[in-house]
Amino acid sequence: MKDVVVIIPAFNEEGSIGGLVKELADACPGVPALVICDGASDRTALVAREAGATVLDLPCNLGVGGAVQAGFQYALANGYQLAIRIDGDGQHPPSEIPTLLKAARESDADLVIGSRFSSAGLHTTLFRFFGIKMLAVFLSIICRRRVTDPTSGFWAVKRPLLQYFAREYPVDYPEPEAIALLCRLGYTFTEAGVQFRARQAGQSSIHGWGTVYYALKVGFALVVDRVRVLNKGLSRRYTVEWT
């Protein structure tokens, strides 16, 4: 699996990142791990490097969108055909990566989303569950295609889509927006059922009033994305040619 890289955005995750990188090496031997340290104030970069990962150490905090985009740029520049993106808090188990890889190899979609709702066993609160479901319905209508887990960050991204994401990627809570945008540019996606687990350290960045802000921000962004001026030069027709 020389053409696959695993992208892990991490912000102050020194407690879990080392274990995650080692777990990854066990689950998918030979697959390089790329940890993007998003301007963290703790020893995330150091711990990840010691665990054997390549580290992109961002000089300032860009938010998860900017961090993941840096990872996509790395994957593109270093000639990888496929980038797997998992969270740094350990809620996406590396043991599920082969499932995602298999789905990516079998399907000709540009993006495979690991969905926690396509299979049994989910780790989330009831409130958040309904929020995600509402977002899923909304996004499904926009994309004219069924989306069950729009907020999942467990992705497999193929090279044509990497070309697009390396140039343009949403900022704050990027996943639902990115899905809506890639649909408009002619890329396709599919879902694969995977098992999530509870985060191993730290706290979700979205809690309390943040949930309301998240819903409003993402809802507004999705509406704007419908009419956003897009760079047609980054649509699938062209990026497939470059690749």
Partner 1 sequence: MNAVKTMQGWVDAIVAPLGPMGARVLFVAIAVFLLVTMVLAVRANRIHVFRSVILIALSLFFAALAWDLRLLLELNRITFLGRIRLLMGVLSFVVLLVTFEAVRRAHLRERYALLWMSTGLILLLCAIFTDVLDFFCALFGMQYVTFVVAVIFTFLLLVAFHFSIALSRLSDDRARLAQRCANLEARVEELEKQHRRVEP
Residues near partner 1 (CB under 8 A) are 36, 39, 54-60, 62, 66, 69-70, 73-74, 77, 171
Q: Is the Cβ of residue 49 or residue 128 nearer to partner 1 in the bound state?
A: 49
Residue positions counted in the chain = 243
Residue 154 vs 169, nearer CB to partner 1: 169
As measured in angstroms, the least distance from the Cβ of 228 to partner 1 is 14
Looking at the Cβ atoms of 76 and 194, the one nearer to partner 1 is 76
Q: Shortest gap between Cβ of 54 and partner 1 (angstroms)?
A: 6
Name the minimum Å distance from CB 83 to partner 1.
14
CB of 2 to partner 1, least distance (A): 16
DSSP lists the bridge partners of residue 85 as 7, 155
Are 104 and 156 spatial neighbours (Cβ–Cβ below 8 Å)?
Answer: yes
Which two three-digit tokens encode residue 58? 């961002």
Query: What are the residues whose beta carbons fall under 8 Å from the beta carbon of 102, sequence distance 6 or more?
Result: none
* Residue closer to partner 1, measured from CB, 117 or 169: 169
For the four alpha carbons of 107, 71, 146 and 24, in that order, the dihedral sign comes to: positive
- Determine the Cα–Cα distance for residues 103 and 109; give it in Å rounded to an integer: 9
